[in-house]
Amino acid sequence: MCGIVAYVGHQEAWPIILEGLRRLEYRGYDSAGIAVVDFSGEIQIRKTVGKVGGLDLADREDSLQGSVGLGHTRWATHGRPSDANAHPHTDCHQRIVVVHNGIVENFMELKTGLEENGHEFSSETDTEVITHLMEEGMDQGLSFEDAFSRMGKLLKGSQAITATHEGNEGKICAMRLGHAGGIVIAHREGQGIVGSDLPALLPLFRHDSLVSGVGFLESGQMAVVTREGASYRDLDGHPIEKDTRSISPEDIIIDRGGYRHFMLKEIMEQPQAVASAMRERVDFQNGRVQLPGMPLSIDEIRSLRRVVLIGCGTSLHAAQVGRHLIERLSGLPAEAESASEFRYRDPYIDDQTLVVSIGQSGETADTVAAMHLAQEKGGRLVTICNAENSQATRLAEYTLFMRAGIEIGVASTKTFLASLTTLNILAAYIGQTRGVLSSEAAKELVEYLARCPGLIGEMLADTEIYRRLAREFYTCSNFLFLGRGINAPIAMEGALKLKEISYIHAEGFPAGEMKHGPIALIDRTMTTLALAPKDRMYDKVVNNIKEVKARDGVVLAVVTNGDTELASQVDHALYIPEAPENLIPLLTAVPLQLLAYHIAEMRGCDVDQPRNLAKSVTVE
Contact set with ligand G6P (CB under 6 A): 312-315, 359-361, 364, 367, 410-412, 613, 615-617
- Position with the least CB separation from ligand G6P: 313
In angstroms, rounded to a whole number, what is the distance separating the alpha carbons of residues 34 and 299? Answer: 55
Closest CB to ligand G6P among residues 159, 593:
593
User: How many CB atoms are located within 10 Å of the residue 468 CB?
Assistant: 12
Pairing of strands 68-74, 31-37: antiparallel
**Shortest separation between residue 314's beta carbon and ligand G6P, angstroms:** 3
Residue of 2, 173, 385, 605 marked active site: 2
Q: What is the DSSP string of 72-89?
A: EEE--SSS-SSTTTSSPE
Query: What torsion, rounded to 10 degrees, do the Cα atoms 1, 273, 296, 584 define?
Result: 110
| Whether 5 contacts 204, CB under 8 Å | no
Closest CB to ligand G6P among residues 89, 615:
615
Coil, helix or strand for 610?
A: coil
Closest CB to ligand G6P among residues 488, 557:
488
Closest CB to ligand G6P among residues 409, 483:
409
**Shortest separation between residue 3's beta carbon and ligand G6P, angstroms:** 15
In angstroms, rounded to a whole number, what is the distance separating the alpha carbons of residues 5 and 246? Answer: 19
- DSSP code at position 218: P
Query: What torsion, rounded to 10 degrees, do the Cα atoms 394, 395, 397, 398 define?
Result: -50
In angstroms, rounded to a whole number, what is the distance separating the alpha carbons of residues 379 and 402? Answer: 22
Closest CB to ligand G6P among residues 123, 419:
419
**Shortest separation between residue 180's beta carbon and ligand G6P, angstroms:** 12
**Shortest separation between residue 387's beta carbon and ligand G6P, angstroms:** 8
Residue of 47, 242, 414, 615 marked active site: 615
Active site residue 615: yes
Coil, helix or strand for 6?
A: strand
**Shortest separation between residue 296's beta carbon and ligand G6P, angstroms:** 23
∠ CA 607-613-614 to the nearest 5 degrees?
95
Closest CB to ligand G6P among residues 361, 527:
361
**Shortest separation between residue 313's beta carbon and ligand G6P, angstroms:** 3
Active site residue 2: yes
How many residues does this entry show for the chain?
Answer: 620
**Shortest separation between residue 528's beta carbon and ligand G6P, angstroms:** 24
Question: Given CA atoms 284, 287, 289, 293 in this order, what sign does their dihedral have?
Answer: negative
Query: Phi then psi for 382, rounded to 5 degrees?
Result: -120, 140
Helix or strand (DSSP H, E) at 62: none
∠ CA 144-148-153 to the nearest 5 degrees?
150
Coil, helix or strand for 151?
A: helix
| 278: amino acid identity, one letter | M
From residue 106, alpha-carbon distances to 15, 176, 343, 471, 546 in Å are 35, 16, 21, 50, 55
Closest CB to ligand G6P among residues 313, 577:
313
User: How many CB atoms are located within 10 Å of the residue 115 CB?
Assistant: 13
**Shortest separation between residue 184's beta carbon and ligand G6P, angstroms:** 17
Closest CB to ligand G6P among residues 530, 617:
617
In angstroms, rounded to a whole number, what is the distance separating the alpha carbons of residues 245 and 224? Answer: 18
Query: What torsion, rounded to 10 degrees, do the Cα atoms 26, 315, 612, 217 define?
Result: -50
Active-site residue set? 2, 615
